[in-house]
Amino acid sequence: MPVNKEFVKFDKVDKSYDGKVLVVKDLQLNIAEGEFITMLGPSGSGKTTCLMMLAGFETPTNGEIYLDGNAISSIPPHKRGIGMVFQNYALFPHMTVYENLAFPLRVRKIPKDEADKKIDKALSMVSLQGFAARMPGQLSGGQQQRVAVARSLVFDPQLVLMDEPLGALDKNLRESMQYEIKHIHESIGVTVVYVTHDQSEALTMSNRIAVFNDGKVQQLSSPDELYEKPVNSFVAEFIGENNTFNGEVSDISGEKCKVKLANAEIIANPISVKSKGDRTKVSLRPERALINPKDKMDNIHNGKIEEVIYHGDHTRVRINLLGNPEFILKVPNSSANLDIKLGNEIKIGWNSQDARALDPK
């Protein structure tokens, strides 16, 4: 059976709360069946609004949302059959874990023995067997979170929405929950739409990531592509760490362009610059620049070490390079033999392929 590429489809969706500002602008987004897609963006970027429109708690001001080919704007939330995990779990505090999980099954009038089987299955999926009789208040944050996930899956929805579900957990728990949710997704093949503002969460879990800003999807692509090949400077800066040079294109030819900085010139990969004289912001990932490069690289410049910060597995080095005092390098701990000392002059090199000349913004 071919996978439905347009299982969820946002078709030219606009949303405004006050009639003056558009929170979501002309959103066009297709989500394939079985996909794990993350909506990532700063707060106020419209990602949660999109999720709420999909869940049915908000209505699009314009446009239509399709679920499996059916327009759903006029269907109330309880008839959409979409599972949802809320930011603060939203477990019913007056019901036991069992009753919480039984709620969606009871309203669907599923017979008790069948419901019990489903509940057992859902609880074992999140490894919480034996917790059925507990009240939510007696569980830790991580356990509550897992109950919330189990509850959103227990009635076998085709689509599950997750609204920053790990936001309230501490760092270690958050990481282990990320893997757990990812594995659940892989094992049952449900379509997941996940909202977060935490980029590492998004990179770890998703098949595809939609980066939101200003009510628009800035880039929709797989995690590695998003990180390696950001299409504009917002995405480049929002995802991961980034070194930037502001300048002006002085020469452009095919795969390469020359960018004139205040007092130097670098070679970059033209992504969103078209012609000579365009303003641009060149973006370079810290790990793509090397100290004293042995390979032949087309950008090699001298810089002065301003700060050295020890990070355990790696060392961060801040360098004043080509007039940018905030140039960051990540040096793996194995290369401690390098001459990294405060105040030293060192050679930095990178390939022009990795220096992406983006919009100036």
Using CB under 8 A, list all residues that contact another protein: 55-57, 76-84, 86-88, 90-94, 103-104, 107-108, 151-152, 155, 161
- Shortest distance, CB of residue 161 to another protein, whole angstroms? 8
160 strand-pairing partners:
83, 192
In the complex with another protein, the residue whose CB is nearer, 160 or 358, is 160
- Shortest distance, CB of residue 90 to another protein, whole angstroms? 4
In the complex with another protein, the residue whose CB is nearer, 93 or 277, is 93
Structure tokens at 151: 């509850």
Four-residue CA torsion sign, 180, 3, 68, 5:
positive
In the complex with another protein, the residue whose CB is nearer, 87 or 222, is 87
CA distance 289 to 311: 18
CA distance 342 to 248: 31
- Shortest distance, CB of residue 147 to another protein, whole angstroms? 12
How big is the CA angle at 344 (ends 342 and 350), to the nearest 5 degrees? 105
- Shortest distance, CB of residue 104 to another protein, whole angstroms? 4
CA distance 232 to 213: 12
In the complex with another protein, the residue whose CB is nearer, 25 or 80, is 80
In the complex with another protein, the residue whose CB is nearer, 55 or 268, is 55
- Shortest distance, CB of residue 86 to another protein, whole angstroms? 5
Q: Where are the alpha helices (DSSP H) in the chain?
A: 47-55, 97-107, 112-125, 141-153, 171-188, 199-205, 223-228, 233-238
In the complex with another protein, the residue whose CB is nearer, 19 or 76, is 76
Residue 155: how many other CB atoms lie within 10 Å: 18
- Shortest distance, CB of residue 330 to another protein, whole angstroms? 40
Q: Which of 224, 159, 241, 212 is nearest to 38 (CA)?
A: 212
Structure tokens at 59: 């209505």
Residue 332: how many other CB atoms lie within 10 Å: 11
- Shortest distance, CB of residue 298 to another protein, whole angstroms? 54
In the complex with another protein, the residue whose CB is nearer, 153 or 211, is 153
CA distance 138 to 127: 16
- Shortest distance, CB of residue 63 to another protein, whole angstroms? 22
CA distance 262 to 111: 74
| 168 Cα distance to chain centroid | 17
Count, in order, helices (H) and strands (E) of the chain.
8, 20
CA distance 171 to 270: 38
In the complex with another protein, the residue whose CB is nearer, 152 or 283, is 152
Nearest-10 Cα torsion for 53, 31, 40, 80: 30
- Shortest distance, CB of residue 154 to another protein, whole angstroms? 9
The answer to whether the CB of 56 falls within 8 A of the CB of 31 is no
In the complex with another protein, the residue whose CB is nearer, 104 or 247, is 104
The answer to whether the CB of 26 falls within 8 A of the CB of 12 is yes
Which helix (H) or strand (E) element contains residue 281?
A: strand 279-284
In the complex with another protein, the residue whose CB is nearer, 94 or 347, is 94
- Shortest distance, CB of residue 94 to another protein, whole angstroms? 5
